[in-house]
């Protein structure tokens, strides 16, 4: 009888521990969702509010690496360059997010960057971010100029 009781206790403990564990795919999906929220908040803060330094301080890791060859490689230099660009050259610019795709530690954002509203065709872009602990650690960019007569509502999006 004591052996049966011990076996039942062991079985109950195993069932309880397995019932409380969260499947890996659920955790990965939640991380991808959290990372997407971080990236969208970063893009809104930097590209729409033009609060570049705030966005970098809040959402970017100190060991950030920039892969866009037109920008410097580290977080501080990128923040300074973007701040200059968005403050002095493109003060009215806005990013319009069309869709996002997230998997594990990567988030891709397909967007229209209206650099000079009403004056230019803008830029279709895909930003790819890698995150660690809900902080951006890497960024890649692919972009294409949108012809003047197409704007944000064209078939490119």
Collect the ranges in the chain with pLDDT lower than 70.
Answer: 1-2, 4-20, 149-157
Q: Does any domain span residue 62? A: yes
Q: What is the pLDDT of residues 82-112, one digit of tens each?
A: 999 999 999 999 999 999 999 999 999 999 9
- CATH number where 36 lies: 3.10.450.50
How far apart (Å, rounded) are the C-alpha atoms in residues 112 and 147?
12
Give pLDDT, residue 24.
Answer: 86
Please answer whether residues 78 and 72 qualify as being in contact, where contact means their C-beta atoms are separated by less than 8 angstroms: yes
Whether the full predicted model's pTM is greater than 0.95, yes or no, is no
Number of structural domains the chain divides into:
1
Query: For residue 147, what pLDDT is reported?
Result: 84
Instruction: Give the pair of three-digit tokens for residue 37.
Output: 């929220």
Strand ranges inside the chain, DSSP E = 60-66, 94-103, 106-114, 123-132, 135-145
* Residue 104, in any domain of the structure: yes
Determine the structural domain holding residue 89 and report its residue range: 24-145
Q: Is residue 17 part of a domain?
A: no
CB 72 within 8 A of CB 139: no
Q: What is the predicted pLDDT for the residue at 73?
A: 79
């Amino acid at each position: 009888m004591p052996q049966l009781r011990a076996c039942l206790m062991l079985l109950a403990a195993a069932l309880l521990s397995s019932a409380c564990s969260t499947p890996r795919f659920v955790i990965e999906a939640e991380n991808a969702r959290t990372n997407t929220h971080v990236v969208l908040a970063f893009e809104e803060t930097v590209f729409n509010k033009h609060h570049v330094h705030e966005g970098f301080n809040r959402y970017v890791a100190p060991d950030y690496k920039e892969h866009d060859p037109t920008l410097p490689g580290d977080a501080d230099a990128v923040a300074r360059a973007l701040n200059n660009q968005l403050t002095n050259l493109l003060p009215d610019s806005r990013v319009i997010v069309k869709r996002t795709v997230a998997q594990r530690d990567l988030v891709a954002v397909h967007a229209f960057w209206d650099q000079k509203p009403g004056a230019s065709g803008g830029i279709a872009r895909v930003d790819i971010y890698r995150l660690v602990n809900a902080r951006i650690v890497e960024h890649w960019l692919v972009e294409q100029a949108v012809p003047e007569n197409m704007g944000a509502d064209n078939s490119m999006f």
